[in-house]
Amino acid sequence: MTRDACRLCGRIENLRQSHIVPAFVFRWLKDSSPTGYLRGGSNPNIRAQDGLKRAWLCDSCEGDFSQSEKLFARKIFRPLMQGTPTSITYEEWLLRFCVSISWRILSLCLDEGTGKFLRESRPQRAADTLGVWREYLRGERTDLARHEQYLLNLDGVPQSLLHHPKTNRYFAGVIDAELLETNSELMVYAKLPHIALLGIIETSGALDWQMGPIHHEGVYNIGSQAPPDVVLDFLHYRTEYAHHRGNMLSDRQLKCIEDALARDIEKTRRSGFFQSLRHDVERFGIDQAFGENPGAEDS
């Protein structure tokens, strides 16, 4: 166990190996997988058992994060996975959950990313945002100083806006985290199964968010959610990136997956993988859904 300053509270403590993306996400993905295994995006030929961890937090701060994670899993994540709710009433725990994810991913990007931004001012802007989110999580401030959090139900994105024939499989089965950057926008992007979380670092203020940001309390409405064009374009880009990485599976690993699927056909039919594949086939046709080099749907 590492003894160092906790990234959140700053105290010198024994630090826990903390998940960047909460463990309940990986447990659900493994349980819903037809093979019962995960595969990492950086090396899909190796079966993964868990998500990325870093020794960042003390027991107290890890426990604080765990409380909001448990509430998010019970009140939002699992009901969404079951497709049952039309709206969800939330309190402060949802905003704390969203900020904690954005804080962890931005910390990771600044620690281990390339550090290349489109504007020279952006590394400092990102560091300042990290400070605002840290102060909020520590209870030192109640506002986010324009660094809002948005939660997007990906199943609510109209199918007519989706142009990559593997989009539904990306939505359902890929955990992803990256910085979304354009000339006018910079935000943290966290993709869980069927859910995307976006934490604003810098914005022009011109984006058409059909749903409002997460507040201290409120009602999260489930339904049609068309994201701003810049977010929709990024979803297509990350779908293609994940597709490209998936095509790097070796013949041996593809055979292992095929054998696992064949052993339990009924489990495969019930899996999120099969349901998302069905949606892609219905939307784009079998040739595009299984194509090696898919492109945008012809208009």
Question: pLDDT of 184-200, one tens digit each?
Answer: 999 999 999 999 999 99
Band (pLDDT 50/70/90 cuts) for residue 226 is confident
Give the separation between CA 113 and CA 73, rounded to whole angstroms: 28
Which residues face 156 on adjacent strands? Answer: none
- Chain mean position to CA 103: 13
Find the mean pLDDT for residues 78-85.
Answer: 82
Best CA proximity match to 28, nearest among 288, 297, 272:
272
Tell me the residue type at 299: S
Confidence at residue 39, expressed as pLDDT on a 0 to 100 scale: 46
Residue 174 exposed, middle or buried by CB count within 10 Å (0-12, 13-18, 19+): buried
pTM equals: 0.83
All residues at 6 or more sequence positions from 263 whose CB lies less than 8 Å from its CB, including other chains: none
Say what the pLDDT of residue 221 is: 86
As a whole number of angstroms, the distance between CA 261 and CA 268 comes to 6
Indicate the pLDDT class of residue 32, thresholds 50, 70 and 90.
confident
Query: Each residue of 233-258: pLDDT tens digit?
Result: 999 999 988 877 765 445 555 555 56
Nearest by Cα to 104 from 227, 19, 184, 194: 19
pLDDT at 162 over 80: yes
- Measured CA distances, 153 to 183, 213, 219, 257, 292 (Å): 26, 13, 14, 29, 28
Token pair in block for residue 194:
């069927």
Enter the tokens of residue 192. Answer: 């869980």
Mean pLDDT within 41-66: 75
Confidence bin at 299 (pLDDT 50/70/90): very low
Q: How many Å apart are CA 112 and CA 128, to the nearest integer?
A: 17
Give residue 233's identity as a one-letter amino acid code.
D
**215 vs 96: CA distance, rounded Å:** 10
Least confident of 72-76, 275-279, 286-290: 275-279
In the numeric block, which tokens belong to residue 185?
A: 């926008």
Count Cβ neighbours within 10 Å for each residue of 190-214 and write b for 16 or more, e otherwise: bbbbbbbbbbbbbbeeebebebebb
Q: Would the pLDDT of 50 be above 80?
A: no
- Classified as helix, coil or strand, 4 is strand
Write the pLDDT tens digit of every residue in 165-189: 888 888 888 889 999 999 999 999 9
- Separation of alpha carbons 155 and 73, rounded Å: 17
Backbone angles phi and psi of 244, in degrees to 5: -60, -45
